[in-house]
Amino acid sequence: MDKNQVTGLILISLLLLGYFYFAQDVQPPTEQPTPQTTEQQISPVQESTTLKPAEQINQDSIDFLSQQQQYGDLAQVMTGSAQDVVLENQKLKITFSTKGGAIKQVELKQFQTYDKKPLILFDESSSEMSFKLNLMGTEVDLMDLYFKDHKITNDGDTTRLQFSLDLGNGKVL
């Protein structure tokens, strides 16, 4: 090492030491007062605290109300059950899900893996999609919506799959 390198290392070391010295908190940390506990005698509860089935609040309705408040008209399509819609020809099989209207799996029919299993290009465990829209000031991920209606149309060598959302009150997306 020459003289310039040694001088540079010393200056850098001094700068780091100075920074650590002046950057630390000057005030010592204040101790939190420990809460004082007082012993109280707890009387046994006279009434039963278990709810009767008629008095229980349905958790699904609470979830729906919170979704209604957050998503407005889209709340009713945030719940449902996913179903598979399959489009296939001689070479390809594509499986869509009604949850999000996304491609769930793509399989090449004429090929196999080295261990003689179907050749899956991708499936829901190996890929993740997300389509976010800003609707009425709220960010909505289309992958969370349950599409109830779908339509498949064939036009020569073109096949079209169209998902739609029925929001009620004549509103369709």
pTM score > 0.85 for this model? no
Give the pLDDT score at 105.
Answer: 92
Residues 6+ apart with CB under 8 A from 84: 95, 96, 97, 98, 104
Per-residue pLDDT of the chain (173 residues; tens, 9 = 90+): 789 998 998 999 988 888 877 777 555 555 555 555 445 444 444 444 454 454 445 565 666 666 666 666 676 777 778 888 999 888 999 999 888 888 899 999 999 999 999 999 988 888 888 888 887 677 888 888 888 888 888 888 888 888 887 766 656 66
Contact criterion met (CB below 8 Å) for 142 and 133: yes
The CA–CA distances, whole Å, from 8 to 5, 11, 12, 52, 155 equal 5, 5, 6, 78, 74
- Would you state the structure tokens that stand for residue 134, as one six-digit string? 């800003």
**In whole angstroms, what is the distance from residue 64 CA to residue 71 CA?**
10
Per the listing, tokens 């008629």 go with 54
| Interatomic CA distance for residues 41 and 67, integer angstroms | 43
Distance CA(118)–CA(108), nearest Å, equals 7
Helix (H, G, I), strand (E, B), or coil: what is residue 75? helix
Pairing state of beta strands 166-168 and 171-172?
antiparallel
